[in-house]
Amino acid sequence: MGNTIAQKIIRSHLISGEMTPGSEIALKIDQTLTQDATGTMAYLEFETMGIPQVKTEFSIAYVDHNTLQCGFMNADDHQYLQTVAAKHGVRFSRPGNGICHQLHLERFGKPGKTLIGSDSHTPTGGGIGMLAFGAGGMDVAVAMGGGAYYINMPKLFKVELTGKLNPFVSAKDAALKLLQILSVKGGVGAIIEWGGPGVETLTVPERATITNMGAELGATTSIFPSDEQTRIFLAAQGREEDYVPLSSDEDAEYDRIIPINLSELKPMIACPHSPDNVVEVASLKDVKVDQVCIGSCTNSSLVDMLKVAAILKGKTIAPGVNLSISPGSRQVLTMLANCGALTDILASGARLLECACGPCIGMGFSPNSGGVSLRTFNRNFLGRSGTKDANVYLVSPETAAASALAGYICDPTTLPPIPEITLPAHFDIDDSSVLQPLPPEEAVNAEVLRGPNIKPFPKGKPVEDTISAQLVLKVGDNITTDHIMPAGAKVLPYRSNIPKMSEFCFEVCDPEFPARAKAAGSGIILGGSNYGQGSSREHAALVPMYLGIRAVVTKSFARIHVANLINAGILPLTFQCEEDYDRFTQGSSLTITGILEGMDTGTVTLTDTQTGAAAKLNCVLTPRQKAILLAGGLLAYTKENS
């Protein structure tokens, strides 16, 4: 039997484990990336390992999530990141240079290599044929130190593409179509490979839009072949030498094959408040729009922006609409400016924002109360925009631009034709905003600057045989890490300050939670299915750990979050019988018993000490995860074992 693309890259990077689905494998990691909002923790963790220089082929720290600098906190974080990167052999991309995933694709991603990043959209790199994973900061810290990255060997799904996109239908619509088919849980435990004859019609940035949104499927990662399109893109970025061809074997086998015919695809839209709540744009054509935001790591490439400019050219946006544009990188912005397209965008009445995540993570441009916001982004979770009662829809750049002009949700295929827009033969290249680290001999004595916003991270406690604690919070299905630890302009400045951040934990669901958890001293959280989906932010584990949470019991977990819980020393457990979820009420006193034995047998018992209600829980851990929990978290474990 032949191999799939992912199997080939895994085989060439396998340090230990069997490549059978579900079993733990350890992978050698070639590249790492961090962004500012998760990066400060990752480097604080890296520093505790005492390793002078990173051991990867390439590591980089991007600053893109929080660039507002309201108060000293944010500037302290940037200064820390710049100096810690310089000292340890990590490149530093200055604030304003662009969004991590867009920049990485343009300048540093390489087909056939492995990448982990402390951001859930790191799989964007699959658009250029990398095997790229989102991970918690501690996992990235360990990889920077030369350690392996552990995952369970995924199943392999293939999306078989045929046909070719029609004008005004785009890669975003293909990504939304797959979300409609599979749902936000449909990719869990799987790598999604995109193949078939339709693949060669998609450029690398289009492919990256698709792999980016694979994160919303819960997929471990997504990947495209490395082919002529990949070579053309790398050559246009002045780095054809990074090209290697990569494809699956003819007789490679997949666990599931999902056909999508690009020629039949219509413009799609994800309705509030979940990326899989997808319908055709045409079915919503009378909905009035208050705000349109174009950008984010999903749709901020040059071609995306040029299409938007061509649609807006010579027209003015509807009076009731506010339109923002955030180009994905300085390269995109410069090229838009040089060819005059930026003028067309601005003349339409759009507001130009910095090349950064911006509104996607609630850093400004929050919609009006009850407002309708159309965004070319990847997530529309409740409250993420910064306005709790806003209705956020996810669309392609073409639909966004058409709707900004109409003032209503507008199917772009009803627009008059625009000239065909293709990738440029040469991108403008200027890497001067990506700073080089210090030479190792100078780095030894270099100072890392830590302003008062940089607080040490909390230490986990070793898991013991019995946990006696209050059920401090019971929540439903599909809880995202945005629910657990919100982002936005109010909270992001404290990403390096866990005690302060803890005041906002679960704010969207229950503002009383932090005080209650603190008062209880020791707590257990009960969740539904797909608990912890979305962002990779390890704060969603570190903050509950700081608030005394010892175990999280759910119907099922999302992949990155469960790894983050274990890394933070919190025991993740699932109900053997999902109906048992209903037998426990918030506020009751619980015990979890038989943990030490259960770590081997796979079963522990949850009991309500007042009602006597009891349930069997799965405690499925690899020997390494067990050792991490017994040590009190990954950092303690790494220290013990180094």
Which active-site residues does the annotation give? 64-65, 119, 379, 535, 537
Of 10, 480, 548, nearest in space to 248 by CA: 10
Q: Are strands 155-162 and 190-195 parallel, antiparallel or unpaired?
A: parallel
Among 7, 31, 34, 38, binds ligand MIC (CB under 6 A): 38
If binding means CB under 6 A, how many residues of this protein chain bind ligand SF4?
Answer: 11
Which residues on neighbouring strands pair with residue 471, listed in sequence order? 524
Whether 112 and 244 have beta carbons less than 8 Å apart is answered as: yes
Whether 149 and 137 have beta carbons less than 8 Å apart is answered as: no
Shortest distance, position 357 Cβ to ligand SF4, whole Å: 3
Between 450 and 537, CB nearer to ligand MIC: 537
CA distance 567 to 538: 9
Between 91 and 537, CB nearer to ligand SF4: 537
The answer to whether residue 119 forms part of the interface with ligand MIC (CB under 6 A) is: yes
Alpha carbon distances (Å) from 581 to 227, 585, 618: 48, 9, 13
Alpha carbon distances (Å) from 544 to 570, 576, 637: 9, 24, 20
Shortest distance, position 435 Cβ to ligand MIC, whole Å: 21
Q: Compute CA 539 distance to the chain's CA centroid, rounded to the nearest angstrom.
A: 14
Among 78, 87, 88, 121, binds ligand SF4 (CB under 6 A): 121
Phi and psi dihedrals of 333, rounded to 5?
-65, -45
Residue 38 binds which entry of ligand SF4, ligand MIC, none, CB below 5-8 Å type-dependent: ligand MIC
The answer to whether residue 119 forms part of the interface with ligand SF4 (CB under 6 A) is: yes
Whether 99 and 359 have beta carbons less than 8 Å apart is answered as: no
The answer to whether residue 507 forms part of the interface with ligand SF4 (CB under 6 A) is: no
The answer to whether residue 567 forms part of the interface with ligand MIC (CB under 6 A) is: no
User: Using CB under 6 A, which of the segments 116-124, 240-248, 414-422, 568-576 binds ligand MIC?
Assistant: 116-124
Residue 404 binds which entry of ligand MIC, ligand SF4, none, CB below 5-8 Å type-dependent: none
Which DSSP state fits 282? G
Between 85 and 361, CB nearer to ligand MIC: 361
Of 378, 377, 416, 376, nearest in space to 398 by CA: 376
Which DSSP state fits 414? G
User: Using CB under 6 A, which of the segments 77-85, 308-316, 355-363, 365-373 binds ligand SF4?
Assistant: 355-363
Whether 78 and 63 have beta carbons less than 8 Å apart is answered as: yes
Which DSSP state fits 294? E
The DSSP result for 544-604, as a single string, is: HHHTTEEEEEES-B-HHHHHHHHHTTPEEEEESSGGGGGG--TT-EEEEE-HHHHHHHSEE
Residue 296 binds which entry of ligand MIC, ligand SF4, none, CB below 5-8 Å type-dependent: ligand SF4
Shortest distance, position 333 Cβ to ligand MIC, whole Å: 20
Whether 19 and 153 have beta carbons less than 8 Å apart is answered as: yes
Whether 521 and 493 have beta carbons less than 8 Å apart is answered as: no
Residues 529-548 that bind ligand MIC (CB under 6 A): 534-537
CA dihedral of residues 73, 75, 81, 86 (deg, nearest 10):
-150
Cis amide bond preceding 101, omega within 30: no
Q: What are the strands of the beta sheet with 31-34, ordered from one edge?
A: 131-134, 114-117, 31-34, 58-62, 91-93, 434-435
* Per-residue x/- track, 481-500, ligand MIC (CB under 6 A): ------x-------------
Radius of gyration over every alpha carbon of the chain, rounded to an integer in angstroms: 24
* Per-residue x/- track, 326-365, ligand MIC (CB under 6 A): -----------------------------------x----
User: Using CB under 6 A, which of the segments 151-159, 233-241, 420-428, 528-536 binds ligand MIC?
Assistant: 528-536
Between 203 and 366, CB nearer to ligand MIC: 366
Among 116, 336, 360, 617, binds ligand SF4 (CB under 6 A): 360
The two three-digit tokens of residue 100, written as one number: 């991590």
CA distance 179 to 213: 9
Between 360 and 469, CB nearer to ligand SF4: 360
Between 58 and 62, CB nearer to ligand MIC: 62
3-state SS assignment for residue 144 = helix
Between 344 and 538, CB nearer to ligand SF4: 538
Among 312, 357, 520, 541, binds ligand SF4 (CB under 6 A): 357
Residue 537 binds which entry of ligand SF4, ligand MIC, none, CB below 5-8 Å type-dependent: ligand MIC
Shortest distance, position 297 Cβ to ligand SF4, whole Å: 3
Burial class for 266, CB neighbours closer than 10 Å (0-12, 13-18, 19+): middle
The answer to whether residue 297 forms part of the interface with ligand SF4 (CB under 6 A) is: yes
Shortest distance, position 634 Cβ to ligand MIC, whole Å: 18
Number of Cβ within 10 Å of residue 189's Cβ equals 18
Between 45 and 354, CB nearer to ligand SF4: 354
Among 60, 61, 99, 629, binds ligand SF4 (CB under 6 A): 99
Which residues on neighbouring strands pair with residue 252, listed in sequence order? 2
CA distance 331 to 335: 6
The one-letter amino acid at 242: D
Residue 536 binds which entry of ligand MIC, ligand SF4, none, CB below 5-8 Å type-dependent: ligand MIC
Residues 538-567 that bind ligand SF4 (CB under 6 A): none
Shortest distance, position 33 Cβ to ligand SF4, whole Å: 10
Residue 242 binds which entry of ligand SF4, ligand MIC, none, CB below 5-8 Å type-dependent: none
Shortest distance, position 205 Cβ to ligand MIC, whole Å: 19
Between 365 and 575, CB nearer to ligand SF4: 365
Residues 375-414 that bind ligand MIC (CB under 6 A): 379
Between 65 and 177, CB nearer to ligand MIC: 65
For binding to ligand MIC (CB under 6 A), which residues are involved? Answer: 37-38, 65, 119-121, 134, 361, 379, 487, 534-537
Please give the residue ranges that form the binding site for ligand SF4 (CB under 6 A): 65, 99, 119, 121, 296-297, 357, 360-361, 377-378
